[in-house]
Structure formats: structure tokens, C-alpha cells
């Protein structure tokens, strides 16, 4: 017995109200419809229909089984639709993306308008979070992730490193002077980002590292503000509160407009690797392939 066909025939019998009507809907003889029903009942060991000479009705179990059959057929239809989308060359459907807040706000979101113009049939669902969410369990198609990667079966495409800039406002520098060496920072208000307890950058709150051709320098800094908001830290610096070491993605517009001035540019600041992650089995979906190609075009290392 073909179980899936037998289930499909049973659903048609229930929906049409008779085996004769179901035979026309299924394109088979009434005898064959009856054979499928009997085979299904024998497999289950339970009667599905009450039959009389004038009418048929569902048994209590038959009604419950009918509802489950509808669910099964619905899942099969959804799976076939997913397969058709995978075979299609047209990127469409909902693409679920997760990314770090600063990169997501300052780099990803502005670029999504261009992506949407290229692929108008893709709907975007974006979650900005530093949490390392499981792509499968959370239902995401793709993640942009900072830091060293854990071992997994996911495909990881390298992106441009997440880099920092040391900067302050012109008003602050006019009031306190411009540092010319890392040691000068000890005489300044150095505002810090409050990293979570489990973040491997936690020690950079008060210990700033800089590298030049002469090697690495570590400077113990202090200041009047430690805050767990990148935007809050940026606003404090723009308003002349002190010196910050913050992501390029966030301060670049202020550097270009003159609201902030880059400092000690001859030194290299700490950076983090950044990757684009996705499941190999989902890469067959045109919507994901389109986004991966777009992201690599914009931010490949």
C-alpha cells in the first residue's frame, strides 16, 4: 500500500462525502478507492468510517485521524513549495538575518535599500543583537558574527575586520590638548565602553592597546564615563566629554563632518574578525545566495 496515496484518498472521501465522488476527484475507480480505505484501516487496526446503505460518517477516531492527515498533507505541500523555490532562479521569500548592533545599524541597514532594489521579491527580517544565536534553532538564514568562531558545520565567509578609531571632539582637544603619544592618554578623560562580563574585550575598558612598528603599547586609562551603549559613548565624545576608542563604522560620519578628530593614527588599534555564516544545506535557496553574493561584494576581506 502507498500510505501517502491512501491518506490522500481518505481525505477526499471525507471532503466529498462519498467514495463515488472521491473516485472522480482522485481519477480512479470506486473499487480502488474502497481498496485504499480498507488497506488504511487494516494498517491502523481501527475503523475510520461508519458505512450504511444510505450514508457514511466518520468514527470518533476517523475524525481525529482526518485532522492529522490534513496536517501531514499540508507539510508535504509546504516542502514541495520550498523545493520549487530552491529550483527557481528568482530570489524571493523572507530572508532572516542577524547581525551585531553597530555594524547592523551603520553598515548593513543602509546597504539593504540597494539590496531590496536588486531583489524586490525578498522580504527582510533583521535582528540586531550581540547574542550568538543558533541559526537552526532560531530560524535565521544567515548571521554576521564578530570575534573568533566556534567549531561548527556552518559555512564561514571572512569579512572585513571590525576595526576601531581613537578620537575626540575639537572642543575637547582645544580645552585639554591633543595627545601625541599613547602615554599622553593617561592625562586625559578616556571614556570606556562597558563590555559584558563574558566578552573577551572586557579588559579594554581601562587598558588600551596600540601597536606600531616599535611593538605593542598598553596604556592604563581612566575617565568619567563607562557606558554599555556605543551610541551613548559616541554622543558623549561629540559633546566634548572625552576621548573614545570606538568602531570605525560608528564614528566615520563624524570624522568626515569634523565633529570628531582621529588621534594617534600612526598606531594600530585592536580589531576583531568578522564572518558571514550560513548553513550549507540552505545555500541552494536563491534568496540566500543573492544575499551572500551581495555581502561579499560589499564587505569581503
Q: Is the pTM of this model over 0.75?
A: no
Is 70 exceeded by the pLDDT of residue 185?
A: yes
253 and 175 in one domain? yes
| 24-38: average pLDDT | 87
131 and 72 in one domain? no
Q: At what angle do helices 30-44 and 19-26 cross, to 10 degrees?
A: 110
Percent share of the chain, pLDDT over 70:
92
Per-residue confidence band for 108, with pLDDT thresholds at 50, 70 and 90: very high
Q: What is the 3-state secondary structure (H, E, C) of the chain?
A: CCHHHHHHHHHHHHHHCCHHHHHHHHCCCHHHHHHHHHHHHHHHCCCCEEECCCCEEECHHHHHHHHHHHHHHHHHHHHHHHHHHHHCCCCCEEEEEEECHHHHHHHHHHHHHHHHHHCCCEEEEEEECCCCCCHHHHCCCEEEEECCCCCCCCEEEEEEEEEEEEEECHHHHHHHCCCCCHHHHHHCCECEECCCCCCCCHHHHCEEEEEECCEEEEEECCCCCEECCHHHHHHHHHCCCCEEEEEHHHHHHHHHHCCCEECCCCCECCEEEEEEEECHHHCCCHHHHHHHHHHHHHHEC
73 and 31 in one domain? yes
Average pLDDT of the chain is: 88
Output the pLDDT for position 13.
87
Q: How many domains does the chain fold into?
A: 3
Is 80 exceeded by the pLDDT of residue 291?
A: yes
Is 70 exceeded by the pLDDT of residue 129?
A: yes
63 and 211 in one domain? no
44 and 29 in one domain? yes
141 and 43 in one domain? no
Output the pLDDT for position 23.
86
Is 80 exceeded by the pLDDT of residue 197?
A: no
Output the pLDDT for position 70.
85
284 and 220 in one domain? no
CATH code, domain carrying 229: 3.40.190.10
Is 90 exceeded by the pLDDT of residue 258?
A: yes
Output the pLDDT for position 202.
61
Is 80 exceeded by the pLDDT of residue 26?
A: yes
CATH code, domain carrying 46: 1.10.10.10
| 14-33: average pLDDT | 86
Q: Which long-range contacts (CB under 8 A, 24 or more apart) does 137-140 make?
A: 138/98, 139/96, 140/96, 140/97, 140/98
Q: 44-77 pLDDT, tens per residue?
A: 888 888 876 567 788 888 888 888 888 888 888 7
97 and 83 in one domain? no
Is 90 exceeded by the pLDDT of residue 98?
A: yes
Expressed as residue numbers, the domain containing 108 is: 93-160+273-299
Output the pLDDT for position 292.
95
Per-residue confidence band for 167, with pLDDT thresholds at 50, 70 and 90: very high
291 and 234 in one domain? no
Output the pLDDT for position 48.
87
**How far lies 207's CA from each of 60, 76, 139, 216, 220, in Å?**
72, 57, 38, 12, 5
253 and 216 in one domain? yes
Residues 188 and 58: their CA atoms lie apart, in Å, by: 82
255 and 121 in one domain? no
Amino acid at each position: 500500500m502507498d500510505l501517502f496515496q491512501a491518506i490522500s484518498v481518505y481525505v477526499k472521501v471525507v471532503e466529498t462525502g462519498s467514495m463515488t465522488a472521491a473516485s472522480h476527484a482522485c481519477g480512479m475507480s470506486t473499487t480502488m478507492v474502497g481498496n485504499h480505505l480498507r488497506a488504511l484501516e487494516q494498517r491502523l487496526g481501527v475503523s475510520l468510517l461508519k458505512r450504511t446503505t444510505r450514508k457514511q460518517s466518520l468514527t470518533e477516531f476517523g475524525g481525529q485521524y482526518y485532522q492529522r492527515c490534513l496536517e501531514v498533507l499540508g507539510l508535504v505541500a509546504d516542502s514541495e513549495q520550498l523545493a520549487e523555490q530552491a529550483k527557481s532562479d528568482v530570489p524571493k521569500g523572507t530572508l532572516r538575518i542577524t547581525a551585531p548592533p553597530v555594524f547592523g545599524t551603520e553598515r548593513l541597514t543602509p546597504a539593504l535599500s540597494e539590496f531590496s532594489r536588486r531583489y524586490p521579491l525578498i522580504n527582510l527580517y533583521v535582528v540586531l543583537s550581540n547574542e550568538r544565536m543558533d541559526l537552526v534553532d532560531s530560524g535565521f538564514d544567515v548571521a554576521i558574527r564578530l570575534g573568533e568562531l566556534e567549531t561548527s558545520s556552518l559555512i564561514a565567509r571572512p569579512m572585513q575586520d571590525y576595526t576601531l578609531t581613537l578620537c575626540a571632539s575639537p572642543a575637547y582637544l582645544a580645552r585639554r590638548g591633543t595627545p601625541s603619544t599613547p602615554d599622553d592618554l593617561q592625562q586625559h578623560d578616556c571614556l570606556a565602553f562597558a563590555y559584558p562580563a563574558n566578552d573577551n574585550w572586557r579588559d579594554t575598558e581601562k587598558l588600551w592597546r596600540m601597536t606600531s612598528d616599535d611593538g605593542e603599547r598598553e596604556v592604563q586609562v581612566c575617565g568619567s564615563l563607562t557606558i554599555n551603549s556605543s551610541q551613548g559613548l559616541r554622543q558623549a565624545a561629540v559633546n566634548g566629554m572625552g576621548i573614545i576608542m570606538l568602531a570605525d563604522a560608528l564614528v566615520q560620519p563624524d570624522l568626515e563632518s569634523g565633529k570628531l578628530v582621529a588621534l594617534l593614527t600612526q598606531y594600530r588599534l585592536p580589531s576583531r574578525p568578522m564572518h558571514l555564516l550560513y548553513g550549507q544545506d540552505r545555500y541552494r535557496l536563491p534568496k540566500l545566495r543573492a544575499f551572500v553574493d551581495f555581502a561579499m561584494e560589499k564587505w569581503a576581506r
